[in-house]
Structure 1
Amino acid sequence: MLGLNGIEWMMLIIAAIIIGFSKTGIQGATIPAVALVAVLFGGKASAGIMLPMLMLGDLIAIFQYGKQGKFSDVLKLLPAAVIGIIVGAVMGNYLDDKQFKALLGIVVLICLGLLIYREVAKRVLPLPKNPIFHWMVGAISGFSSMVGNAAGPIFNVYVLSQDLTKNKMIGTTAWFFLVMNLVKLPFHIFMWGTVTWGTLRYMLLMIPFIAFGSWMGITFVRKINEVWYKRIIMIMTAIAAVRLFI
């Protein structure tokens, strides 16, 4: 069916559940899903197959947490993120992905170190108010999202620095990535050709599993306290950063 055998369908189902869980539960947990889908379809093709699945997860997260999201943070980063997406779309066929991911991993680990210091020292690290900082975060997020679905760690660092509650963090993240993914969609359709009616069939078949993963994420967030939620986000961000070097 659709060129996949039983084991491959199981891998895709697991990836769909992880996507749903990560969107409503632990941001950054999509890393295993990215790896699974890449194994099945290859790097570039997998980005297009995952995009509609990620957008569905974003919509579920917005339905649950959207009203609590801090949309002002999204607006600060959006213009630069769009530019980053455009640059990533143009350079996608020529970029040395391994070198870029290594550089991105260094940036994420440095930022993560600052967040760990904040947690240990029990003090909030204020973000620079300079617009250049927000443009840098937005541009890197947009570029890395378009090229390698690696924007999660950067945005995790940014949103954790805002000292938001867990529900506000999820809502803000959901709005940001839904807008980003909507901007990416035309490039995947018309430039890369990685989103087609054929690839959409995978997303349609995965809707029940994405929904199940989303329910798992919502249930998990209700049961965990704020401190441990942020610590788990940091752990997932660290894992994501390490993966960028591989």
Structure 2
Amino acid sequence: MTDTLLVMFVAGLLTGFSKFSVGGMGLLVLPIVMIAFPGPEALGAIVPLYLLIDILAVISYRKNISWKVLGRFLPLAMLGVLVGSQVLSDIDPNDFITLLGVIIMAMIGLGFFLDAYPTSFMQKPWAAYSMGFAGGLISMMANAAGPIFSLFLLEQKLSKESYVSTRAWAFFLINLAKLPMYIGIGLITPASLTISAYATPGLLVGALFGYHFLKRVQPNHFKWLVRLLSTIAAVKLILFP
């Protein structure tokens, strides 16, 4: 029991800090939760954590939301969630996790390319649609769409405040849509909710640190932090699935 409490506290700490600051840490949370709750049921243990911290995030960051960006990629993200719920039980988890790491590394490489050769294609509707669908699919199947959405939003030329607010609302709405689907396929149970509750103190502590950290980080440092955390997560997925 002590080990479970410690693991979930750390998972909550990372989740709270990530949601209230730079993001990109979500991929580190799932392997940690699986220490206490092995198997696909770990996905069900994470979603209530995300929803709880999402509610706090959208209350805290309720201004400077780019509804235009949200309106472009959210509909396809919801479709991705629906498709992901259908294939979740059929795909080999190890193959998917490795593929996810490769996709994230490709997104990071794309970000560097866009720095060197600026272009506006990531702001086109088709880019939003494809990123939205991919993000929704990956969010449903691995709770790991944070790096994809973060890297996409960075290319929308939003202010730091608008980036954080838009990301917070996107994940709140997506995780809300995932909740009944996880219940329907049996990944959220009374046992998983009990495990989720153990992470609450860590969530609150992490959110507090993340909120104050965000106020102090510079915009250019902010972008590099997102990329660094995404790279660490991608390497972990590829080399240690």
TM-score (norm 1): 0.89
The question of whether the paired residues in 1 share the 8 Å contact of 2:19 and 2:53 is answered with: yes
Q: 1:103 and 1:236, CA in 2 relative to 1: closer, same or farther beyond 3 A?
A: same
User: Which residue does the alignment assign to 2:152?
Assistant: 158
Structure 2 counterpart of 1:224, one-letter code: V
Residue 170 in structure 1 maps to residue 164 in structure 2: yes
> Once the 2 structures are TM-superposed, how far is the Cα of residue 128 of structure 1 from its aligned partner?
4.4
Q: Deviations over 1:207-238 (max 9, x none)?
A: 33211110100111111111101110011111
Give the 5 Å matches for 1:43-122: 43-119=39-115, 121=116
**Larger deviation, residues 195-204 vs 139-148:** 195-204
Q: Which moved more, 1:18-27 or 1:192-201?
A: 192-201
**Deviating runs (4+, > 6 A) in structure 1?**
none
**229, 232, 240: which one aligns with 1:239:** 232
Larger RCO (alpha carbons 8 Å, 6+ apart) = 2
Deviation at 1:129, TM superposition (A): 5.4
CA RMSD of the aligned region, Å? Answer: 1.9
Paired position in structure 1 for 2:19: 23
Q: Deviations over 1:35-68 (max 9, x none)?
A: 1101211231111011010111111221221312
Say which of 217, 222, 225 aligns to 2:215.
222
Secondary structure of 2:207 counterpart: helix
* 1:76-111 C-alpha deviation (Å, 9 max, x unpaired): 111211111111111111112333333333332222
Task: Work out whether residues 41 and 192 of structure 2, in 8 Å CA contact, stay in contact via their aligned partners in 1.
Answer: no
- Residue type at the aligned position of 2:39: G
Show structure 1 runs of 5+ residues with no match. none
Judged with a 3 Å threshold, the aligned counterparts in structure 2 of structure 1 residues 142 and 17 are, in CA distance, closer, same or farther, namely same
Identical aligned pairs, as a percentage?
A: 29
CA contact (8 A) 1:21 1:217 kept: yes
